[in-house]
Amino acid sequence: MHYQNYSLEQLNSFALKANAKSVVIAESVDAVRQFSEQLPEQFYILGGGSNSLFIDNYQGTIFCPNIKGIEISETNEDYLLHVSSGEDWHDLVEYCLANNMPGLENLALIPGNCGAAPIQNIGAYGVELAHFCDYVQWFDFQTNKEVRLTAEQCQFGYRDSIFKGALKNKGVIIAIGLRLTKKWQPTLKYQGLNQLGETPTAKQVFDAVVNIRQSKLPDPEVLPNAGSFFKNPVVSHQVYAKIKAQYEQVPAYPANGCDMKLAAGWLIEQSGLKGVSIGGAAVHTLQALVLVNKNNATGQDVVALAQHVQRVVNEKFNVMLEPEVRVIGESGEQLIADIEVVK
């Protein structure tokens, strides 16, 4: 399906008013192939729209892969899932639980489609997609063919993958392969889950994650947002020690063997930024990691607020927060640091 001068308001969870010169929605691999064969000069691949911030009318083509389908097989040790890119991630988590295939419950209520999950290497509560990813089915625009990439080839890192680097705009994810062990063990090290006892069921873990997220994170249907706006920063032990000397209760977790991962939401909250607003954009009053479209915000409002949050946190803690959300202007993706806000 191909549309001209199409509103993006319903295609992004920030619900910002912006149009695209054209939008192509592909519901089959053949439709992806047709797009690839006539690849426009300027395009942006949009999944569920939960991680994109449109700050202006986009002058190229928005490409939306919306292939559906779930196939299941199993070995003696694992459940094997082949999940098409257009499937909703949270719906998949619920589907797996309903069919007695636990493992994904810590990743409940993460917004977006399954095809976007490997790009960010989505994660929460001590679990990330890389723990379960067996392969990614990739459609290569240069060869017009499908390629199956192993998890190792995906180069997963913290909220990172090869799809944000060497393969960016070189193709599109059409499916993911997941491997869920039948010897399931709960992951309970994060606060809120470590109170469930030693032998909770997967459903109990799922319910706890949902309750925690719903108590802190606003529903995009009610208060438009893109979930966590910033990554949790990874800092050296020296930076961590300086912060801990002033704030004994700073939440932190080991990362990469020698560094420490801090909670971005805690840094923002300690900087006195909860509830702060610029134009129609605001830092959420319950979860400082989330920026919200409080009152008909523009993309410029959200960018100005994000820059303000970065500046204040850096001045207080000497830690520069990095956005998770991708910012899209007239001609494509931009770095927040490079955007000059019109005042």
Q: Which residues of 238-248 are buried (b: 16+ CB within 10 A; e: fewer)?
A: ebbeebeeeee
Pairwise CA distance, residues 247 & 269, whole Å: 13
Sign of the torsion angle spanned by Cα atoms 330, 312, 160, 104: negative
Could you tell me if 222 and 230 are in contact, meaning their C-beta atoms sit under 8 angstroms apart? no
Could you tell me if 321 and 309 are in contact, meaning their C-beta atoms sit under 8 angstroms apart? yes
Q: Residue with structure tokens 């009152």?
A: 295
Could you tell me what percentage of the chain is helix, strand and coil, using 3-state DSSP and rounding each to the nearest 5? 25, 30, 45
Pairwise CA distance, residues 299 & 305, whole Å: 10
Q: Residue with structure tokens 């001590």?
A: 126
How many degrees, rounded to 5, is the angle at CA 187 between CA 186 and CA 188? 105
Tokens at 18, concatenated: 């912006």
Residue 148 annotated to the active site:
no
Catalytic choice (27, 94, 146, 159): 159
Q: Report strand pairing: 127-128 vs 133-140.
A: unpaired
Could you tell me if 111 and 227 are in contact, meaning their C-beta atoms sit under 8 angstroms apart? yes
Residue 324 annotated to the active site:
yes
Q: Which residues of 265-297 are buried (b: 16+ CB within 10 A; e: fewer)?
A: bbbbebbebbebbbbbbbbbeebbbbbbbbeeb
Residue 228 annotated to the active site:
yes
Neighbours of 71 (CB within 10 A): 11
Q: Which of 16, 2, 6, 10 is nearest to 301 (CA)?
A: 16
Tokens at 185, concatenated: 């063990």
Neighbours of 298 (CB within 10 A): 18
Q: Enumerate the active-site residues.
A: 159, 228, 324
